[in-house]
Structures are given as C-alpha cells and as structure tokens.
Amino acid sequence: MQDDMSRRVAAEFFGTFWLVFGGCGSAILAAGFPNLGIGFLGVSFAFGLTVLTMAYAVGHISGGHFNPAVTLGLWAAGRCANKHVVPYVIAQVIAAILAAGALWIIASGKPDWVAGGFASNGYGDLSPGKYGLAACLMTEILATFFFLFIIIGTTSRGAAAGFAGIPIGLALTLIHLITIPVTNTSVNPARSTGPALFAGTAYIGQLWLFWVAPIVGAVIAGLLTRWMYEQEAILETTVVEERLSVPRR
C-alpha cells in the first residue's frame, strides 16, 4: 500500500515538474527569442503538450492530475480518494517550485537576461493586458471549470479508452490561447506558485487569486459532473487511470 502511494506521488511530482518546466520554460526561454521565438501560439501548445505527454507517461499510475485544482475537482466529482488529496497537492507544489528554480538557474545563465514577470500570473498592473481583478477572477474560474468538465467527461466510462490525453492536452492549449492576455493563464495553483516565488513580492501578493479561482471552478465542475455521471462516481482514481491508459492490442 505504501509502495503504491509512493509511486502515485512520484508520478504527480514528475508530471507537474514537466508541466512547469516545459510550459513556463517555453515562455521564459523561447517565446521572445530573437527571430526564432515561438510566441503566444507556441507557449499555448507547449503547455498542452506537457499535459498530453505526461498523461500517457504516468497518467495510468496516478490519474495524471499535475494540478491541485484538478485533484480537488476530481475529489469533488468522486473520482479521487480522500487519502490521495494532500499527498498529491504537496508533491505538485514542491515539483512546481523546483521546476521554477531550475528555470531560474538556466535563464540567468544568459548575460543580458532580465527576469521580468518570470512567467508568473497576475491581475491589474501585473496582468499582460492590464485586466482588472473581477475579469481575471472570472477568467480563471470559467477556464478551470471547463478544463475539469473536459477531463471528467473524457475519462468517463463510455468515452474512448486510451485517448483522453489528447482532448485534455488540446483543452489546455485552447485555454492558454484564450486567457494568456488576461492572467497569463494559471488554472493551476502549483504552476502559479513556483514562478511567483522567484518573480518577487508583487506576484506573491496576488497568488491568492490563482489558488482560489481555479479551485472554485474545479470544485463546481466536479460537483456538476458528479451529478451528470452519478453512476460512475467512485472514491478512487481508477476510472481516470483506466481511461488514460493506452489500450493493449
């Protein structure tokens, strides 16, 4: 039993590390690179690809959450056991902080590098488009709600087994395409926490929104889908893990 929990926590750690390193790394290291920068579109796809690749790599072990809001949303939906919630969230946050630290070490190796916002999320003056608090709050709640709605729907019994990682990754890409100008896209409290700790006090002071809004959106989605998929609500991650597993021939 302890070995099973260790494997699950390790899966969440590596999945979240890859999400932050790959997604935020694309923004910090590659988005604005002269002449070859991947830009807004590239960053959006980078985040989606991190989830897509890790969903297939370790999703069958832990359910592939990589995000405290996803863990709590799946818990509200009856898809995540109580005993998994706290260990998953701790692993996700630690992984995000370590990934951000690795990015800081890499990025600061460039002589003329300026940290700026360090891929952090923000509202008001710290929003990429200077969107206000209410707009950013609504954006994060709605984006996370639909992210969970898609995750739960595509991992439900009756959905195509082994293919859930594709729509989930594409959903995160779409979310970034919509919301980068507003909040720089969070929908993930761990992803927000790691970079903010290196970006400075202004970003740390706004972290509350990027914990509260994604969790609210995720829990609402979880409760709604628990009603919609009532016959499938179980207090384990088995359904999610089965749907993320590549079908055997």
Q: Which of 88, 83, 90, 93 is nearest to 63 (CA)?
A: 88
The mean per-residue pLDDT over the stretch 137-144 comes to 98
Q: pTM of whole model > 0.85?
A: yes
What pLDDT is recorded for position 34? 67
What pLDDT is recorded for position 114? 86
SS3 66: coil
Q: Which of 31-35, 123-127, 232-236 has maximum average pLDDT?
A: 123-127
pLDDT confidence bin for 115, thresholds 50/70/90: confident
- Token pair in block for residue 59: 């999703």
Residue spans per domain, the chain:
2-110+118-244
Q: Is the pLDDT of residue 241 over 80?
A: no
The mean per-residue pLDDT over the stretch 117-132 comes to 97
Bridge partners of 157, per DSSP, are 159
Q: How many other C-beta atoms can be found within 10 angstroms of the C-beta atom of residue 171?
A: 21
pLDDT confidence bin for 249, thresholds 50/70/90: very low
Tokens 């989830």 correspond to what residue? 51
What pLDDT is recorded for position 163? 86
Residues 186 and 175: beta-carbon distance below 8 Å: no
Whole-number Å distance between alpha carbons of 209 and 192? 10
pLDDT in tens, 57-102: 999 999 999 999 999 999 999 999 999 999 999 999 999 999 999 9
| CATH among 1.10.600.10, 1.20.1080.10, 3.20.20.70, 3.40.50.720 for 2-110+118-244 | 1.20.1080.10
pLDDT confidence bin for 235, thresholds 50/70/90: very low
Q: Is the pLDDT of residue 234 over 80?
A: no
Whole-number Å distance between alpha carbons of 231 and 186? 31
What pLDDT is recorded for position 243? 62
